[in-house]
């Protein structure tokens, strides 16, 4: 299929085999060099580059960067010494016979030439310019690679799922507004004035209904929508690989998901060793100060609460004290530690206590003098530090202190260059609590109900077997059958066993403070469906943009989305969103007044 | 992967090999029969049925239709004479040892048992009830088959496209409102109050930008949206297999599309002979009175304008007269022809002239006496009728008369049982006009510009090579490089070579009555992109729901969509669309008043 009306070969299909033959290629002028009255054009197409040699000055004169041309010519070996070993076509060149300019190009707002690709990324203009001229930005080989990788990822995931007999089913995106944690995008329904559709935050309820509908194994690469306030690296629309299984346990879903993960990673050229390890949520918090621990490196948090239980130091007289070792930190100057204080305060902490082990049992740093002699004595061994290391401490409520230490741990690793983008540390996080307090400061989801408890995952998550009978008596400690898959400190997917019994669902909704009438209004259809033989079911969803970003090793999910939105949900290229004319507004029905109808 | 926490085998995996072994199966109680104190349960899962035999009355007592159960038991051969040849598992049964009820079911609003599936479809309740309890409707084997077929279709199309080196790219669905023929669904942009996104009617402009971006071969199974007034068999959201190629001609796209079509049909068990035939748009209108001719049968329209050029019959003194033979129609009673008159008037025609050839050269019917002797004499031969046939005539403007005859032709075939759903007549329709009059009565699209011409396909369609220089001088006759693929009288796809040059695009927009400023506002970003080296490109899109419907042989696209909307865009299951609380409305920003800000 490389042959078309415009070419006989793709650029990189022109090999030494074609020497002496005429070929026709088509693509963009990637670069032009002139040398002794002869023009050398790097012609670029989707496969790469091939060199065109033009002896005829008339032919060469009009050609500029990013002109689209069709070239017919004879293939020859490059003259001795002119080979380019970096190029697939580096041993040949095409001597132009005829050249057709298919389209011209104005001067470019920024350069997209392949030749610049390996130079410093800071040659690129700001992201707003890149997004305004996204069609140019996409021509850059690194964007081409990334978007193609994403396509391969999707193909690999589908192949793995098809092999396991999953059925791909499309679910609607004009649905009823249901509470799932964030704000819905809404669409006025012109034909039912005063009524609105919502765009789905996920196909959660619909995939559960597909299970009630007997499909047993469903998947979909689904577009999802969340109308959130702008945050770096969030998009108003995003993609999810959404999977659900009936007659399946948590282990069944995890085993299935591991097959999918292995297939995706393989498509990107990496091998994943199965099974993927598991860590409990509590362990992840205790050891890594995060529910999405980065396991590319060790340096676990050390709990020191017991160690300091009789401490004279007021700051450490706290419900929790923990420490993280800063390898080699003892030799750093004071101002670096001051900078760490600023870093901690920017994260909302009061500061970051530390001591330095300079060697020979000596302790330095402002904390040292506040400790008892015994504490000073045993400290280095207790935290597991070597001479020359420093240690950071956090003291206070357990959860927030651990989160701070978790961030310290990652920041140290970042500065030490341990966060390698082509190294992948995957882990399951399991044994999550069923509920969390609604006032969790680390969470900007809208609370679903009107209670002090909200769902850790979502309201349809099954309590774990030993909590089914009593989760509502002790919501604080109730556990759920849910699981996240984490890679390099990012949550790339998560799921749970779902509630398939109306009685359990009713009790969960009650804990969340959702009354029977409200539940009926919001998702009565799901509760109704559960009356007619709902199978036990469980599932998982992967954040597809995030997975692509991690596998492509790029800095932002915007780099794995062909046409992303910039901050505030705007598209600098098309100008969306935009005002609409009054006639169009009138047609939407948003100004419909039911009283005026009477 | 059939093993899970709840089963060792799928129902139909239990074969004679398992005789004497214990198995565990899980699924729904499809049917229960009691016979001599023994209960026989047909257990249904996604693969089919298996028979469970329960000797223990205690165990059997609670089990009712659509209960979800897990059964462990020993497999044995069915007793002599009890084999069921219709069932994959018809030679074995499972003698229940333990039974767990996983979920109960209330009495069903309608029966979904497999046993009823082959009985008359009219056992089904009305569609509103089916949609309200869609999760039950989906359990019916025919719905399961249909949705699974659709999944296979998508997999086959993707495999064919991947093989041809296409890249799957997701395009955004929160875009700028652009005119593409129908009304946009709109989404208020909370973060930019007073501004709106639109949901895409197709990824048309975005895929063209991907071509400018150098991807060369793109596809996507894309959700599309049109806010149209209710029409039978239309959905507010629908799916399109969307494809675009750079450096490709019309023939290149058609050859590629044929590979996709062959792959899809093969997935459904049918073979398509390639290449698929082509008919020009004018021929299709002349011979079949339709731009989407049903070629499962012949019976072409015969043009009689010349034949009647000197006719004394006033009705036939028209710019066009055409005829369609009604095989065997001579013997039908008068009242049947009266019914045809009603049928024609319902379609907006004045009536339907006819004559009957009763044999022996005799002409009957009201028209006969109005014709000259010579006209009567030669008529049977001229229209190609046999003794015993009738002929319908239409006279008047060419286009509307042909459309009427085209409908007559199909209606005759329908009554003769020639519209077999498992026979597929595919054809390309090519050589379309570039423009059509805005007042075309057969078209409810919104005209894009403010002229008497609107686009036959869309404003981005390339004029054919010999019209590029003069299409704007003679819009009525200008032709385009566009093509539709038609199956059994339905348009299942269509596409065109696109304009890739700003100068041509400007001239087309001028014919459509779109001024420079308006063009700039509406799709200035596309015109801007064309300035930077846009490759020649062409593409096609398939109506995925329609293709699925045709391949599944079902009566409505709602039967190939898991959760379709009913008339008026409503979902009887969830109640969408629905009113929203005032707080939610306030947040959307639709009531934002820019003056109040000051």
What structural domains and CATH numbers belong to chain A? 11-107 (2.40.50.140), 147-273+485-569 (3.30.930.10), 297-419 (3.30.1360.30)
Q: List the single residue in A44, A168, A575 with the smallest CB-CB distance to B154.
A: A168
Does A576 sit within 8 Å of B175, measured CB to CB? yes
**Residue B257 with chain A: CB contacts under 8 Å:** none
**DSSP element (H, E) containing A501:** none
Q: Which long-range contacts (CB under 8 A, 24 or more apart) does A298-304 make?
A: A299/A324, A299/A325, A299/A327, A299/A409, A299/A412, A299/A413, A300/A409, A301/A402, A301/A405, A301/A406, A301/A409, A302/A382, A302/A383, A302/A384, A304/A382, A304/A383, A304/A393
Mean pLDDT of chain B: 93
Residue B3 to residue A164: CA distance in whole angstroms:
11
Mean pLDDT of chain A: 93
Nearest to B298, CA basis, from B307, B288, B313, B285: B288
Mean pLDDT of B200-220: 97
Does B587 sit within 8 Å of A6, measured CB to CB? no
Q: Burial letters for B464-499: b for 16+ Cβ neighbours within 10 Å, e otherwise?
A: beebbeebbeebeebbbbbbbbbbbbebbbbbbbbb
Mean pLDDT of B56-75: 96
Does B138 sit within 8 Å of A568, measured CB to CB? no
The model carries a pTM of 0.95
Residue B410 is predicted with a pLDDT of 97
**Residue B5 with chain A: CB contacts under 8 Å:** 247-249, 251-252
Does B562 sit within 8 Å of A170, measured CB to CB? yes
Residue B297 burial by CB count (10 A; 0-12/13-18/19+): exposed, middle or buried?
middle
**B574: closest CA of chain A, how far (Å):** 6
Residue B257 to residue B264: CA distance in whole angstroms:
11
Nearest to B356, CA basis, from B383, B374, B394, B396: B383
Task: Give SS3 for B374.
Answer: helix
**DSSP element (H, E) containing B241:** strand B237-246
Mean pLDDT of B576-597: 86
Residue B113 is predicted with a pLDDT of 87
Q: Which of B11, B135, B220 to mutate to test the interface with A (most CBs of A within 10 A)?
A: B135
Q: Using DSSP, how many helices (H) and how many strands (E) does chain B show?
A: 14, 22
**Residue B236 with chain A: CB contacts under 8 Å:** 174
Q: List the single residue in A191, A230, A562 with the smallest CB-CB distance to B191.
A: A230
pLDDT for residue B545 is more than 50: yes
pLDDT for residue B141 is more than 80: yes
**Residue A134 with chain B: CB contacts under 8 Å:** 209, 213
Question: Confidence class of residue B233 from pLDDT cuts 50, 70 and 90?
Answer: confident
**DSSP element (H, E) containing B111:** none
- Above pLDDT 90, what percent of chain B? 81
Q: Which of B450, B532, B582 to mutate to test the interface with A (most CBs of A within 10 A)?
A: B532
Residue B134 is predicted with a pLDDT of 98
Question: Confidence class of residue B526 from pLDDT cuts 50, 70 and 90?
Answer: very high
Residue B156 is predicted with a pLDDT of 98
Residue written as token pair 């870093």: A343
The two three-digit tokens of residue A463, written as one number: 């309590």
User: Around Cβ B300, how many Cβ atoms within 10 Å?
Assistant: 18
Residue B55 to residue B35: CA distance in whole angstroms:
10
Give the nearest chain A residue to B157 (CA atoms).
Answer: A155
**Residue B114 with chain A: CB contacts under 8 Å:** none
Residue written as token pair 């926490």: B5
8 Å CB contact between A321 and A355: no
When comparing pLDDT for A467 and B123, which is higher? A467
Nearest to A90, CA basis, from A24, A8, A16, A29: A16
**Residue A531 with chain B: CB contacts under 8 Å:** 105-106
Tens of pLDDT, residues A520-575: 888 889 999 999 999 999 999 999 999 999 999 998 999 999 999 998 899 999 99
Residue ranges for the known binding site of A for L-aspartate are: 180, 226, 457, 498
Q: List the single residue in A192, A562, A578 with the smallest CB-CB distance to B570.
A: A192
Residue A79 burial by CB count (10 A; 0-12/13-18/19+): exposed, middle or buried?
exposed
Tens of pLDDT, residues A218-230: 999 999 999 988 7
- Which of A5-14, A363-372, B77-86 tops mean pLDDT? A5-14
Our CA dihedral for A544, A550, A555, A557, rounded to 10 degrees, sits at: 0
Residue B444 is predicted with a pLDDT of 46
Residue A425 to residue A298: CA distance in whole angstroms:
11
pLDDT for residue A449 is more than 70: no
The CA-atom distances, in angstroms, between B534 and each of A6, A413, B501 are 14, 45, 7
Question: Confidence class of residue A138 from pLDDT cuts 50, 70 and 90?
Answer: very high
- The residue length of chain B stands at 598
Residue A519 is predicted with a pLDDT of 86
Q: List the single residue in B6, B105, B223 with the smallest CB-CB distance to A223.
A: B223
User: Around Cβ A531, how many Cβ atoms within 10 Å?
Assistant: 15
Residue B586 to residue B598: CA distance in whole angstroms:
19
Q: List the single residue in B6, B169, B532 with the smallest CB-CB distance to A247.
A: B6
Residue B415 to residue B402: CA distance in whole angstroms:
20
Q: List the single residue in A164, A175, A590 with the smallest CB-CB distance to B1.
A: A164
**Residue B194 with chain A: CB contacts under 8 Å:** 579
Nearest to B341, CA basis, from B411, B289, B417: B411
Residue B71 to residue B51: CA distance in whole angstroms:
11
Residue A597 is predicted with a pLDDT of 57
Chains A and B: how many Cβ contacts under 8 Å? 343
Residue B361 to residue A203: CA distance in whole angstroms:
68
Enter the DSSP assignment of B165.
Answer: T
User: Around Cβ B206, how many Cβ atoms within 10 Å?
Assistant: 28
Nearest to A200, CA basis, from A218, A181, A215, A216: A181
Tens of pLDDT, residues A573-590: 999 999 998 888 988 889
Q: Using DSSP, how many helices (H) and how many strands (E) does chain A show?
A: 14, 22
The CA-atom distances, in angstroms, between B526 and each of A273, A571, B501, B541, B548 are 46, 14, 10, 19, 33
Give the nearest chain B residue to A66 (CA atoms).
Answer: B533
The two three-digit tokens of residue A456, written as one number: 């850790």
Residue B1 is predicted with a pLDDT of 54
**Residue A267 with chain B: CB contacts under 8 Å:** none
**DSSP element (H, E) containing A436:** strand A435-437
Give the nearest chain B residue to A144 (CA atoms).
Answer: B215
- Which of A17-26, A454-463, B82-91 tops mean pLDDT? A17-26
Residue A444 is predicted with a pLDDT of 46
Mean pLDDT of A312-330: 96
Contacts of A55 (CB under 8 A, 6+ apart): A37, A38, A95, A96
Does B525 sit within 8 Å of A574, measured CB to CB? yes
Mean pLDDT of A67-82: 95
**DSSP element (H, E) containing A51:** strand A48-54
**Residue B584 with chain A: CB contacts under 8 Å:** 177, 184, 186
The CA-atom distances, in angstroms, between A513 and each of A3, A177, A348, B261 are 64, 18, 30, 53
Q: List the single residue in A155, A212, A590 with the smallest CB-CB distance to B158.
A: A155
Does A576 sit within 8 Å of B197, measured CB to CB? yes
Tens of pLDDT, residues A394-419: 999 999 999 999 999 999 999 999 99
What number of CA atoms fall less than 13 Å from residue B112's CA on the CB side?
33
Does A197 sit within 8 Å of B45, measured CB to CB? no
Residue B440 is predicted with a pLDDT of 60
Does A148 sit within 8 Å of B571, measured CB to CB? no
Residue A114 is predicted with a pLDDT of 83
Residue B474 to residue A316: CA distance in whole angstroms:
88
pLDDT for residue A129 is more than 90: yes
The CA-atom distances, in angstroms, between A150 and each of A121, A258, B218, B570 are 21, 18, 13, 35
Residue A271 is predicted with a pLDDT of 97
Give the nearest chain A residue to B25 (CA atoms).
Answer: A247
pLDDT for residue A448 is more than 70: no
8 Å CB contact between A45 and A27: yes
Q: Which of B146, B170, B216, B234 to mutate to test the interface with A (most CBs of A within 10 A)?
A: B170
Nearest to B162, CA basis, from B256, B248, B48, B80: B256
Conformational region of residue B396, where left means phi above 0, alpha means psi within -120 to 50, and beta covers everything else = left
Does A138 sit within 8 Å of B213, measured CB to CB? yes
pLDDT for residue B449 is more than 70: no
Residue written as token pair 């193609």: A148
8 Å CB contact between B49 and B30: yes
Does B584 sit within 8 Å of A186, measured CB to CB? yes
Residue B446 is predicted with a pLDDT of 47
Tens of pLDDT, residues B310-355: 999 999 999 999 999 999 999 999 999 999 999 999 998 888 999 9
**Residue A105 with chain B: CB contacts under 8 Å:** 531-533
User: Around Cβ B32, how many Cβ atoms within 10 Å?
Assistant: 17
Residue A136 to residue B532: CA distance in whole angstroms:
8
């Amino acid at each position: 299929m490389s042959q078309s009306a415009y070419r006989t070969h793709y650029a990189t299909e022109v090999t030494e085999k074609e020497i002496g033959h005429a070929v026709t290629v088509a693509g963009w002028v990637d670069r032009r060099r002139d040398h002794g009255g002869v023009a050398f054009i790097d012609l670029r197409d989707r496969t790469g580059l091939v060199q065109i040699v033009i002896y005829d000055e008339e032919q060469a004169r009009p050609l500029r960067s990013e002109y689209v041309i069709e070239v017919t010519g004879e293939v020859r070996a490059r003259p001795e010494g002119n080979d380019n070993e970096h190029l697939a076509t580096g041993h040949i060149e095409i001597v132009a016979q005829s050249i057709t300019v298919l389209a011209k190009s104005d001067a470019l707002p920024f350069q997209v030439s392949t030749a610049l690709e390996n130079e410093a990324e800071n040659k690129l203009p700001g992201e707003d310019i890149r997004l305004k001229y996204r069609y140019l930005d996409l021509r850059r080989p690194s964007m081409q690679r990334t978007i193609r990788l994403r396509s391969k990822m999707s193909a690999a995931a589908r192949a793995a799922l098809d092999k396991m007999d999953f059925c791909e089913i499309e679910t609607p995106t004009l649905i009823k507004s249901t509470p799932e944690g964030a704000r819905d995008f809404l669409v006025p329904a012109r034909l039912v004035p005063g009524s609105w559709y919502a765009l789905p935050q996920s196909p959660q309820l619909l995939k559960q209904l597909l299970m009630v509908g007997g499909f047993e194994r469903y998947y979909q690469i689904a577009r999802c929508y969340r109308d959130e306030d702008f945050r770096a690296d969030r998009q108003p629309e995003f993609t999810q690989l959404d999977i659900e299984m009936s007659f399946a346990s948590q282990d069944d879903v995890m085993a299935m998901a591991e097959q999918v993960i292995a297939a995706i990673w393989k498509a990107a050229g990496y091998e994943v060793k199965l099974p993927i390890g598991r860590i409990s949520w509590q362990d992840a918090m205790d050891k890594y100060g995060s529910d999405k621990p980065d396991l590319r490196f060790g340096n676990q948090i050390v709990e020191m609460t017991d160690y300091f239980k009789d401490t004279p130091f007021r700051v450490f007289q706290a419900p929790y004290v923990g420490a993280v070792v800063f390898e080699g930190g003892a030799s750093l100057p004071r101002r670096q530690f001051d900078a760490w204080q600023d870093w901690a305060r920017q994260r909302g902490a009061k500061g970051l206590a530390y001591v330095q082990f300079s060697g020979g049992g000596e302790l330095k740093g402002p904390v040292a003098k506040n400790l008892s002699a015994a504490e000073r004595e045993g400290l280095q061994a207790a935290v597991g530090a070597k001479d020359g290391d420093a240690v950071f401490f956090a003291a206070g409520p357990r959860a927030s202190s651990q989160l701070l230490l978790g961030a310290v741990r990652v920041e140290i690793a970042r500065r030490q260059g341990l966060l390698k983008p082509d190294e992948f540390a995957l882990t399951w996080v399991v044994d999550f609590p069923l509920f969390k307090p609604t006032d969790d400061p680390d969470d900007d989801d809208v609370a679903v109900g009107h209670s002090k408890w909200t769902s850790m995952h979502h309201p349809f998550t099954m309590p774990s077997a030993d909590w089914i009978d009593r989760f509502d008596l002790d919501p604080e400690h109730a556990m759920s059958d849910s699981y996240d898959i984490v890679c390099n400190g990012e949550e790339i997917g998560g799921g749970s066993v779902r509630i398939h019994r109306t009685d359990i669902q009713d009790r969960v909704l009650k804990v969340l403070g959702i009354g029977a009438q409200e539940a009926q209004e919001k998702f009565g259809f799901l509760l109704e469906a559960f009356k007619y033989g709902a199978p036990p079911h469980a599932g998982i969803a992967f954040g597809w943009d995030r997975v692509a970003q991690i596998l492509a090793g790029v800095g932002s999910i915007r780099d794995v989305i062909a046409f992303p939105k910039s901050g505030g949900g705007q598209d600098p290229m098309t100008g969306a969103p935009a005002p609409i004319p009054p006639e169009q507004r009138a047609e939407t029905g948003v100004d419909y007044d039911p009283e005026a109808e009477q």
